[in-house]
Chain A
Amino acid sequence: MSAIEAPVAPRRPPPLTRSSRPRTVGRLGTVLTVATLVVVSAVVLLPFVWMVSASFRTQGDLTGNPTTLWPATITFDNYVNIWQRIPFGRQLLNTVAFAGTVTAVSVLLDAMAAYALARFQFPGRGVIFVLIIVTLMLPIQVTFVPVYNLLADLGWINSLHGLVIPRVADAFGIFFLRQAFLSVPVELEDAARIDGASEWRIFFRVMLPLTGPALLTVALFNLLANWNDLLWPLMVTTDPSMQTLPAGLALFKGEHVSDYGLLMAGALLALLPMVAVFLFVQRRFIEGIATTGLK
């Protein structure tokens, strides 16, 4: 991604023709766009509205008056109780440790592998690429038992490294970053080679900075995937002190009856950090492009 070349987000829509209409068309276009976005947003947010409503109601209110979204009385009990009913704070920390570590390491490993696949010609390149994509295709339900047995054989059950290491490379990130590296102008790389830089130098000083937004995007996706992962941490650990947030929240789901208020309160609390990360990444997108465009 040639962030250096990337366009500054225009303040006005680019002129469509050389006629004298642009401003009116532009404004109408913007109004229509915003209207569409508002409608889309309303549909998108609908389940979250329900979740928020459920989190501020008692269970009896929710099940007794299910057709309305408005609480009979607004209660904060769910948000207060959730910290006691499960060790929310510790599980939050566990989740941060797990997801954070995996993300940090995986972005690096994925970038390296993606760089090799995008920029180097070597025998078997196509086969390796396809193999990597194939790893995306088998449902986890099927690899559950073999992976579990492998971890048990290694003695990695209930350990932090058992939790982290199997996840530090993922095909999605490699695939995505390969696209990003393919978009970097070859000339930039070649120029660096002409200057005598080593491959590592080129990678760290040229390729990575140029694909900043893509790296951030992959980091975001990996963070999300691991933050919300229920099955993997539960597969590897039985020790309650190592449990992550999804595992804790799952305890409010019963076979027959669930504590919906607590469940939704927990789910909303758990997603706030992810929203913050997303906003941070998106700002960097826009900011990054804006500043480099000025050079």
Chain B
Amino acid sequence: MSAPQRLLPRRSERTITATLAGPRPVPRVRVLRRSSIQRRRTRTAAAFLAPASLVLGVFVLYPMLDALRASFTDARIIGPADWVGLANYAELLADDRFWNALWNTALYAVVTAPLSVAIALGLALMLNRAVPARLLFRAIIFFPFVTSLSLVSIAWAFLFDPQVGTAAAWLSQVGLPIGNGINDPQWAMPAVMLVGIWRNIGFFMVMFLAGLQSIPRELKEAAAVDGAAGFRHFRTMTWPLLANTTMFVVVIAAIFAFQAFDQMYVMTGGGPFFSTETLVMYIYDTGFEQYRTGYASAVSWALVLVVLTISIGQLWYFRKRAVQY
């Protein structure tokens, strides 16, 4: 991975400054009529954006809008669909099961997202240093993300089966009985949360590692010379410079948490009595078990609105902290 010498000036000629206050506008490099430069750059940008936008537009956005349209009808999975206006949305606002699912999902997100991000960051910091068997540890921690979640949830379900599970028996032997475990309404949600966190820490860790390694060495060395000690070094130097990555991880973590489905589907089926039913499970139930596509679409778009609000909030929060080199 060598830098093309002709296009880049020598290292000694470059100065790197880290700006901690907002992004700077891209400087104009030639003194010509501004508008023609701008137009040319817009065209170039459009060209770069086009292929991906086309695919996303046709195969993702369009179906999403189709679902939006369906949410205003009484569509069942097939057959005629009559326009019902906002009736589906009115229904979901009055639907206890919807609010229960929203509550469960929010609870799940509020617990798992920050925890998994924090744990992942800790692990990334640990594994960014010269720890023995660093690569092995990284691989192990990333393992949960490598398999299909629904398959590995089978393993979790067996391990923690209150009556015949291996882990349940071990815990009982060391004096930490799990009682009725995942069938206990109080423990079902913590159990699926645990699986969710377990699943994602490797994923977020890898992203943090990528971010950590993008911090220019000069800055780290400068801090070391200044005598910044361990945690202070992290808080004043690493953490702010990691802001781009952190923003990304936090936004993604929230979006993923709100879409939790696989482990609940396999391990608890949304039970006991809906205590682990997330929004996506409810959408699946209304859409594919009750065949009410219109209503399921409405619930889905309610989910999108909630997640979008949260994401925009997060993006706005981090906008002021964006790092530009």
Tell whether any CB of A sits under 8 Å from a CB of B in the complex: yes
Q: Which residues of A are in contact with B by a Cβ distance under 8 Å?
A: 1-18, 30, 33-34, 36-37, 40-41, 43-48, 50-51, 54, 66-69, 109-110, 112-113, 115-117, 119-123, 125, 128, 130-139, 141-143, 145-147, 150, 165-172, 174-176, 179-180, 182-188, 190-195, 197, 199, 201-203, 205-206, 209-210, 212-214, 217, 220-221, 224, 228, 230, 246, 249, 258, 260, 263-264, 267, 270-271, 274-275, 278-279, 282-283, 285-286, 288-289, 291-293, 295
Given A44-B143, A120-B44, A169-B52 contact (CB < 8 Å): yes
B42 on interface, CB distance cutoff 8 Å: yes
21 CB < 8 A contacts A-B: A4-B8, A5-B216, A5-B217, A6-B215, A33-B126, A41-B137, A41-B141, A44-B202, A54-B158, A113-B48, A116-B44, A116-B48, A179-B247, A185-B14, A203-B48, A206-B4, A206-B7, A206-B8, A212-B1, A214-B210, A285-B209
The answer for the CA separation of A158 and B114 in the assembled complex, in Å, is: 41
**Chain A interface, DSSP helix/strand/loop, else mixed:** helix
Picked from B24, B56, B144, B283, the residue with its CB within 8 Å of the CB of A142 is B283
The answer for the CA separation of A43 and B213 in the assembled complex, in Å, is: 27
Complex contact A279–B259 (CB within 8 A): no
Choose, from B95-103, B177-185, B295-303, the stretch at the interface: B295-303
Residues of B within 8 A of A206 (CB): 4, 7-8
Please name the residue on chain A nearest to B325 by beta carbon.
A185
Report B155 CB to chain A, min CB distance, Å. 4
> Which residues from 1 to 37 on chain B have a C-beta closer than 8 Å to any C-beta of chain A?
1-4, 6-9, 11, 14-16, 23-27, 29
Picked from B140, B166, B227, B283, the residue with its CB within 8 Å of the CB of A69 is B166
The answer for the CA separation of A118 and B127 in the assembled complex, in Å, is: 29
Given A134-B308, A146-B63, A267-B147 contact (CB < 8 Å): yes
The answer for the CA separation of A155 and B314 in the assembled complex, in Å, is: 41
**Additional A-B contacts beyond A187-B14, A191-B7 (11; CB < 8 A):** A11-B130, A17-B227, A34-B132, A37-B127, A48-B152, A120-B44, A137-B311, A187-B15, A217-B206, A258-B154, A295-B2
Please name the residue on chain A nearest to B71 by beta carbon.
A142
Residues of B within 8 A of A220 (CB): 206
Residues of A within 8 A of B287 (CB): 141-142, 145
The 5 closest A-B pairs by CB, nearest first: A7-B217, A146-B63, A166-B59, A120-B45, A169-B52
Complex contact B296–A199 (CB within 8 A): no
Which of B59, B141, B151, B303 is most buried by chain A, counting CB atoms within 10 A of its CB?
Answer: B151
Given A15-B224, A34-B132, A179-B248, A120-B217 contact (CB < 8 Å): no
Size category of the B interface is 35 or more
Number of A-B contacts (CB under 8 A): 357
Please name the residue on chain A nearest to B8 by beta carbon.
A188
Complex contact B198–A146 (CB within 8 A): no
The answer for the CA separation of A142 and B302 in the assembled complex, in Å, is: 12
